[in-house]
Structure 1
Amino acid sequence: MNILLDLKHLKLISLPARPIICKGLLIVIALILLRAIVSPFLAISSSEKEGFYESTAPDLLPGVRRDKFVEVPQIIWGLNNQKIAFARACLTARFLNRSLLMPSLSASLFYKEVDLLQPISFDKVFDFNKFNTRCHGFVRLARYSEVSNRTEPFKLQKGSGRRWTVERDLDQLQQFSWGNADDSEVIEIVGKHPFLWPDHWPVKDYAKIFDCLVLVPEIEIEVGKVISKIREAGQKARHEAGISHVKQRKDGSTNLPVPYIAVHMRIEKDWMIHCKKWEQRSNSNEICSSKEEIVHKVSQITDLRRPVVVYLAVADSLLEDNSITRGWRVGMVAYEKKKLGVTNIFDRQPYLIKSAIDFEVCSRADVFVGNSFSTFSNLVVLSRTERLYNLGKASSCGENVGLSSYAYNVIGDDGGPQRWMTDMSDTSLQRLSYGTNNISCH
């Protein structure tokens, strides 16, 4: 009504003043219309906004800013320490509502001699586009070509050592999530060993990021070749034993693959020295396991019909015992890379790719057996637990549940190896990073 009255009164205003008044009225009307359009969004909580943006217009209103970035140093050490460091970098960028600039990984394992490290681009190992597709709305990777260099990078010094606690690290991130740091296009993380950043995020967040890591096609082909060789060996063992492996799928076909067991056999000389010292410090006898102990524990697993192939994932170059395929019980046919005939696949690859292939072979096995103090074994079990959860299974207790995992260094209730699932409700990655013998099948 007020607007209508004002329009009526325009007749009383002199002609030169009318254009100015009209412009003012148009601005007022535009503001009223804009408020009517925007106000419904103001009542939505921050969590609801994220879901709304993702479901309606993810490209127009992304959950992670595309014009602000986080840069991290080259990621080093072993494959799984690198995966953890990468996930922490992603979650740090997410906390700051920024895209993570695609980091450089390390193809070699010379973690002390930094000048000997062989850098390898992330997208030479993992599929860049598939990562962003699978993790859309959660975290985002960006290429350096997206940076416009409008401002100088803001250098954020990360602390390390015992004094750099979880609380101090979180306080630092909260402090620099706004103000001068947020004005910069790029926040550059400065410091050594990104994998030492304290945890602020639950295991399920790490699992989400690990699930987005898909090997590039060239490496995936090599994984397929190794698994094919394992299954062929299993088919041969069953044929020689006069056992047919003809089982029907739900669709009536009879081409089910021959199952196999994968064992992450930690008996290399560097591991044995390390774990013995670990046992002395922690006053525990459930960290190290000899070859004989591992063979005995694995032989007690009854999940699969025998004969069955046992694939031994082991760092051959650090192995002093060349008899790891001998001494296994009847019905368990052990293979390592040389006996399987796949050394040519591994020998032409740098360390990081070798580990990535072994990881996938273990992760996709019908039964996996590892050491609960090994980061490699822990992340394999985390991957398998995530798949079980996606299938609606929150427990692997009992026989023939599928995708079962065991820890050979921990004695289960039945005297065999302990059934093992990752505790997805854990609020920290501490136990996965540094190991524990407190595990179960729930």
Structure 2
Amino acid sequence: MDISNRKHLRFLGLPLNSLACKCVALVVIALVLRAVLLPRLYELGGLFEQSKFLVAPNVSLLSDSESLMEKSKFLEVPQIIWGLNNQKIAFARACLTARMLKRKLLMPSLSASLFYKEVDLLQPISFDKVFQFGSFNSRCSEFVQLGHYSEISNQSDVVELQKGLGRRWTVEKDFEQLVQFSKQPYDQYEIVKVVGKNPFLWHDHWPAKDYARVFECLVFVEQISKEADKVVSKIRDVGREARQQMGLSQPVPYVAVHMRIEKDWMIHCKKLEQRLNISEICSSKEEIMDRVRNIIGLKIPMVIYLAVADSLLEDNSILNGWNEGLLPCEKKKLGVVEIYKKHPYLIQSAIDYLVCLRSDIFVGNSFSTFSSLVVLDRTQKMIETGDANMCGVDTHWPSFAYNLAGESNGPRAWVTNLSDSSLQSISYGSNHISCSLTSRL
């Protein structure tokens, strides 16, 4: 076909070189491109939208208060050892360390047994077998969080933090070390692993109210709470029986006495008295009985529950010598020995802790960590009730220290001073206690 005839070629009935033909051709090309490319663009767009959630799934779900845990960085601590309340203090100290480093605390291993000197004999127990993991994170969501090891993305992304040892390692040096590990390059690691002694022995950098905040988040698992319910019910049964026999109209309350007269305690307290040059730490059975009976305002009859470590007790006469109207009982008399025996030491201690915590009146030793944390817990409950007066048996949750003389040779009224700058008095005991309003937050 020669050039002269090309002008006669037509497309869709239109001359090829006409303006209308060119417009139609452009429309066809646009439709083809749309059919081919648009699905791919939609696919890419979908991936882009998904990437908003795939890049950092935790960030979009975190509130401002949880920003300290962004990028899921963690603190790992050694197994926590010793008695229940030393372990609670160690755990709180580890939490506060993690908070300072802006990390989650990896759920630690506790110790079910008390053989703290023979590390190879320690019986480990998971934190969530003693305390409620979910409840802790819910209650402490604005303060500190626990993490599972399954949350770690890179097990090898670890830097070790060696806690200082010896007399030259001061509180100031320890704090400087923590500040250093909160900055580059250490803050880039996914895991900071503490290498050193049990956290209970770490230096203390936080006020009592911060520890109290952590303790508020600790809730025993339901099994332990139910076991404590059984023991409390048996104690109440003693009171109900006395009420019926005496024809009383009011329920008979109970006093929980943390009676520290076991052989290990007597050795410890005597050494402590010598070292601190204090004569108000050790108490004999007779002194404890005398102080309890002299509590001002104590109503008779009253059930006396004696919380004592039976396996370490050498005196089998703790139920003898109490005044008429004071009804002493302990595990054997209550018939609850089997409840305790089926559990390891740590759980036994947790059951007794709850029995003491729920008592109408608590009497303990101000140099005992167990007693100190029971009183701290009761002090927090007392503050929640809004009592104007924190002294005496007529208040809610009253507590006393039998190793310190109070009014009329009774035990000294005791609440925790939550304005203390450290947990020193609770961790190691003190003879400077009161029930004044200065103990409020």
Provide TM-score, normalisation by structure 1. Answer: 0.82
Measure how far apart 1:244 and its partner are: 2.5
Question: Which residue pairs with 2:247 in the alignment?
Answer: 242
1:136-151 aligned at under 5 Å gives the runs 136-149=141-154, 151=156
Question: Which residue pairs with 1:432 in the alignment?
Answer: 426
Q: Is this contact kept in 1: 2:297–2:392, CA < 8 A?
A: no
In the alignment, the residues of structure 1 paired with residue 382 and residue 418 of structure 2 have an alpha-carbon distance, to the nearest angstrom, of: 11
Partner of 1:261, secondary structure, is strand
In the alignment, the residues of structure 2 paired with residue 291 and residue 316 of structure 1 have an alpha-carbon distance, to the nearest angstrom, of: 15
- Given candidates 51, 57, 65, the residue that maps to 2:69 is 65
- Given candidates 304, 317, 323, the residue that maps to 1:329 is 323
1:204 aligns with 2:198: no
Measure how far apart 1:242 and its partner are: 2.3
1:1-400 aligned at under 5 Å gives the runs 59=63, 62-66=66-70, 67-149=72-154, 151-245=156-250, 258-393=252-387, 395-400=389-394
Q: Is this contact kept in 2: 1:241–1:307, CA < 8 A?
A: no
In the alignment, the residues of structure 2 paired with residue 72 and residue 239 of structure 1 have an alpha-carbon distance, to the nearest angstrom, of: 54
Q: Is this contact kept in 1: 2:74–2:190, CA < 8 A?
A: yes
In the alignment, the residues of structure 1 paired with residue 329 and residue 297 of structure 2 have an alpha-carbon distance, to the nearest angstrom, of: 19
Partner of 2:332, secondary structure, is helix
Partner of 1:288, secondary structure, is coil
5+ residue gaps, structure 2: 1-59, 437-441
Partner of 1:279, secondary structure, is helix
Measure how far apart 1:133 and its partner are: 0.6
Count how many residue pairs are aligned between Structure 1 and Structure 2. 376
| Amino acid in the other structure paired with 2:75 | V
Partner of 1:92, secondary structure, is helix
Measure how far apart 1:399 and its partner are: 4.3
| Amino acid in the other structure paired with 2:234 | K
Q: Is this contact kept in 2: 1:310–1:334, CA < 8 A?
A: yes
Provide TM-score, normalisation by structure 2. Answer: 0.82
In the alignment, the residues of structure 2 paired with residue 171 and residue 197 of structure 1 have an alpha-carbon distance, to the nearest angstrom, of: 14
In the alignment, the residues of structure 1 paired with residue 155 and residue 350 of structure 2 have an alpha-carbon distance, to the nearest angstrom, of: 38
Partner of 1:414, secondary structure, is helix
Measure how far apart 1:276 and its partner are: 1.4
Q: CA 1:69–1:242 in 2, change beyond 3 Å: closer, same or farther?
A: same
| Amino acid in the other structure paired with 1:336 | E
Q: CA 1:57–1:389 in 2, change beyond 3 Å: closer, same or farther?
A: farther
Q: Is this contact kept in 1: 2:93–2:200, CA < 8 A?
A: yes
Q: CA 1:168–1:366 in 2, change beyond 3 Å: closer, same or farther?
A: same
Measure how far apart 1:206 and its partner are: 0.7
| Amino acid in the other structure paired with 1:65 | M
1:141-188 superposed Cα distances (whole Å, 9 cap, x missing partner): 010111101752111001134322211111000011011211000100
Partner of 1:170, secondary structure, is helix
Partner of 1:289, secondary structure, is coil
1:347-397 superposed Cα distances (whole Å, 9 cap, x missing partner): 000000000011111111110000001111111100011111122236422
Measure how far apart 1:60 and its partner are: 7.2
Partner of 2:228, secondary structure, is helix
Query: What's the C-alpha RMSD, in Å, of the aligned pairs?
Result: 1.6
Partner of 2:390, secondary structure, is coil
In the alignment, the residues of structure 1 paired with residue 110 and residue 276 of structure 2 have an alpha-carbon distance, to the nearest angstrom, of: 32
| Amino acid in the other structure paired with 2:360 | D
Q: Is this contact kept in 2: 1:233–1:309, CA < 8 A?
A: yes
Q: Which moved more, 1:335-344 or 1:300-309?
A: 300-309
Question: Which residue pairs with 2:11 in the alignment?
Answer: none
Name the % identity.
62
1:101-144 superposed Cα distances (whole Å, 9 cap, x missing partner): 00000000000110100000000000000011111110100101
Question: Which residue pairs with 1:403 in the alignment?
Answer: 397
1:397-438 superposed Cα distances (whole Å, 9 cap, x missing partner): 244012100000001143211000111100111111111111
Q: CA 1:130–1:394 in 2, change beyond 3 Å: closer, same or farther?
A: farther
In the alignment, the residues of structure 1 paired with residue 209 and residue 64 of structure 2 have an alpha-carbon distance, to the nearest angstrom, of: 28
